[in-house]
Amino acid sequence: MHKSSILLPLAVVILLLTGCGEENENNSNDIVNDDPVTTEIFAMDTYMTLTAYGENAQTAVDDAVNYINDLDAMLSTGIETSEISLLNTNGEYSLSTDAATILESALEVTSLTNGAFNPTIYPIMTAWGFPTQEFRVPSDDELQNLLELTDVSAINFNEETGEVSFDTAGMAIDLGGIVKGYVAEKVAEIFTNDGVTSGIASLGGDVQTLGLKPDGSTWRVALQNPDADGDYLGILEVGEIAVVTSGDYERYFEEDGVTYHHIIDPSTGYPAMTGLHSVTVISEDGTLADGLSTALFVMGLDEANDFWRENNDLFDAIFLDDDGILYVTAGIADCFSSSYETVIIE
Ligand code: AMP
Ligand code: MG
């Protein structure tokens, strides 16, 4: 589908790997020689890998798997009995703590990104056939009508009680753009509560690290090359952080030679065509990172760079454009190495 020739290696960028996480030479404690416990599961429509180190690793991974499955059942739009499905069907529902917390974060990201992230996008996702994979291209008129259902101010939400209702019939929410970041953060919390100090969770494009590697060194997170299986765009060396990627290659269909992907521009109802191929957000806040990766994709490179300049205390980002060029924000540049052409955003 995509031209793989756009990603020819251009220049070897060798960067000093300093200041990337708190490397700790003295952290070679008793868990160094322990093999990690690693489990792979399929949940939330994606393959996930959970890895924990140390003597409680098995318990921690088991607890995290149970939690992920519970949240999937609670939040999936594809499960009729999920809280989100009940809210979408009835137009009102009293959400439990996790679901309410995610909705609260989603609405915060909506306001921070001026609506580039919009959790009321679900009727439009449905029109394109993404939830059922019965893909179709909706007419302009249909999309214009559906856009009226994407006004977040028509959501009544009591953050204390979790009660939600919609002012307009037919509104529906979709937390798919943010939920994995929240869950990945929670996995790190579960690991910690179970006594694990070192681990990594990879939930599709959402990576969350906990602590440092058992030997005290930083994690090496490879960014996948969307156009070549097994190849990667570069390596991030990080401490405890979230690294979340959104791209047009994750879910898409083709009709009459045109590719339609799953990240929708809420101002048009069409897949966002901004010249970006993928966006990776690096942040200490995993939920924010997930919401932002979706939103920055919608914004496109120039707007996303301006947004980063205004919010560079919250996150860093790596953009891959349709020409195969990588753009890396200055705050993370020293922690990223790549053999592809890389431009540093100041
Ligand atoms: P991600 O892979 O995190 O970028 O999330 C993509 C998913 O978020 C899609 O499959 C939709 O469920 C949802 N989505 C699509 N467009 C938007 C948007 N503009 N704002 C919020 N969620 C979106
Ligand atoms: Mg996202």
The tens digit of pLDDT for each residue in 176-206 reads 999 999 999 999 999 999 999 999 999 998 9
pLDDT at 14 over 50: no
Query: From ligand 1's centre to the CA of 33, what distance in Å?
Result: 40
Q: Hey, how many other C-beta atoms are within 10 angstroms of the C-beta on 28? A: 13
Q: Hey, how many other C-beta atoms are within 10 angstroms of the C-beta on 136? A: 12
Closest CA to 248 of 281, 182, 293, 203: 293
89 backbone dihedrals φ, ψ, rounded to 5°: -75, -40
- Relative to beta strand 155-157, strand 276-283 is unpaired
pLDDT at 17: 32
Lookup: tokens for 124:
């439009």
Q: Going edge to edge, which strands form the sheet with 206-210? A: 37-43, 46-52, 199-203, 206-210, 242-247, 276-283, 316-321, 326-329, 342-345
pLDDT at 1: 35
pLDDT at 24 over 90: no
pLDDT at 323 over 80: yes
* CA distances for 228 relative to 244, 314, 344, angstroms: 19, 31, 24
Helical ranges in 170-322 per DSSP H: 179-193, 286-299, 301-310
Point out the ligand 1 atom lying closest to the alpha carbon of residue 174: 12
Closest CA to 71 of 175, 192, 194: 175
Q: What is the CB < 6 Å shell around ligand 1? A: 117-119, 121, 125, 174, 176-177, 246, 250-251, 262-264, 266, 290, 293-294, 298
pLDDT at 20: 80
Closest CA to 74 of 169, 147, 183, 165: 183
Q: Hey, how many other C-beta atoms are within 10 angstroms of the C-beta on 103? A: 24
Mean pLDDT within 140-166: 98
pLDDT at 31: 42
Q: Which of the residue ranges 26-30, 164-168, 206-210, 277-281 would you say has the lowest mean pLDDT?
A: 26-30
pLDDT at 127: 98
pLDDT at 159: 95
pLDDT-derived band at 313 (thresholds 50, 70, 90) equals very high
Query: From ligand 2's centre to the CA of 205, what distance in Å?
Result: 9
Alpha-carbon gap, residue 66 to 176, rounded angstroms: 19
pLDDT-derived band at 221 (thresholds 50, 70, 90) equals very high
Specify the pTM.
0.92
pLDDT at 15: 28
pLDDT at 93 over 50: yes
Alpha-carbon gap, residue 176 to 156, rounded angstroms: 20
pLDDT at 26 over 70: no
- Amino acid letter at 113? T
Mean pLDDT within 324-341: 97
| Percentage of residues of the chain with pLDDT beyond 70 | 91
pLDDT at 251 over 80: yes
Query: From ligand 1's centre to the CA of 178, what distance in Å?
Result: 8
pLDDT-derived band at 214 (thresholds 50, 70, 90) equals very high
pLDDT at 277: 96
Q: Hey, how many other C-beta atoms are within 10 angstroms of the C-beta on 331? A: 16
Closest CA to 291 of 315, 322, 259: 315
Closest CA to 281 of 321, 328, 248: 328
